[in-house]
Amino acid sequence: MDSLEACKKEIQRHNAASLRIISLVAAIMLGLYSFFPLLIEKNTVKFFFYTGTMLAEFCIFIAASRLRKINNIPPWLVYAGFLCFFSALMFFGIYIGILNVGTQYAINFMIFLVCSQLMFVFTPLRNLVMNIVTVLIFSILSMSYKRPEIWAVDVVNASVAGIAGFIFNWNIAHALISKILTGQKLEEERNRFKEASITDELTGLSNRRDFFHSVKFYTSVCQHVRQTICIIMMDVDHFKSYNDFYGHTSGDEALKSIGKVLNQLAVEENIFAARIGGEEFIILWTENRLSESRRLALKIRQMIIDLQIPHEDSPTAPYITASIGMYILRGGSTDTAEELYNQADMAMYEAKKHGRNCIVMYDSADQTYQTVTPEVGEIVFYRAPAL
């Protein structure tokens, strides 16, 4: 259903663009030829008829130009614009081919009838009715103003032109719709492959590739607007023993549960979350206050605990926990994406050294690690080791 609606919208945009182009071409051609009746034939009436039709087509061009700026163009509005264009052109063709020259064949009308249908896409029924009505009006007027040997040829030519225009329009519409639908399918496939290339299949989070692409953007922002970047590296504690004890299927389910809460957190806190491999996750965001960074780190740790996924083989706790390392990159820093990643990774290993199920922060401003003891909310500062 979505593809069908998108196809209809694309057709309306195509029709609006075609109406704009063909009405402008018609206005220019009429403007150029409008002086011939005045200069050669000294026919003022014909000159004003040319000029009037030119102005009508130019007004349609202006209206069509405004239509293109509308996101969802109403189909009736496009069709109304086309009918105005078509009526003006057909009336001009009838005047030139019948009312003005009653002793010649109306070749101009036939050309207008066919060409006006080459750039638009309408339903076959609507196009058929339009052709029948136009050919009937032309035939009646031709029989009224021309001799039998002239109007007989006109009627045959008009019928052939109507049929040809209908067939051409049918084929053009079929080709355009096929092109639109094929383009939509290709776009869907491209988006699907793109999504798969940057999404972790197990958890639904972003993957390692998407993380390194995103972190480059974050570091660029940090360098230019001097905004602080926070990056968390999180590793599930004793996950190898969890897999050995419960099996890899249970391990996958545990990772899915963690991915679910991180996806939820990403929406709530407007942060970037990714699984970069195995049981390691990474969270990235910009922050102005250090207290907010600590709050979010504690929230992430608590969300993992609240899952209450049993882990009887863990020496840390009877449920799954995580060691969290956080790196604070101050605005204006020139750290690269790799350096940012490595610093967060080192902070995470510091958390493992301090008993796991805890948070260690490294601040680039004072080059100190800050270990948060969640039970009492204590923050212990100590000098960072040499890198």
Active site members: 279
**Rounded Cα–Cα distance for residues 25 and 58 (Å):** 9
Q: Is 277 left (phi over 0), alpha (psi -120 to 50) or beta?
A: left
Q: Are 324 and 351 in contact (CB under 8 A)?
A: yes
How many residues would you count in the chain? Answer: 387
Q: CA separation (Å) from 6 to 36, 121, 123, 263?
A: 46, 15, 16, 30
**Rounded Cα–Cα distance for residues 278 and 299 (Å):** 22
Q: Are 95 and 116 in contact (CB under 8 A)?
A: no
Question: Per the structure block, which two tokens stand in for 125?
Answer: 């029924």
**Rounded Cα–Cα distance for residues 181 and 260 (Å):** 35
Phi, psi of 52 (to 5 degrees): -65, -45
Q: CA separation (Å) from 197 to 192, 201, 320?
A: 9, 9, 29
Per DSSP (E only), the strands in 127-238 are 228-236
Phi, psi of 167 (to 5 degrees): -65, -45
Question: Per the structure block, which two tokens stand in for 50?
Answer: 């040319």
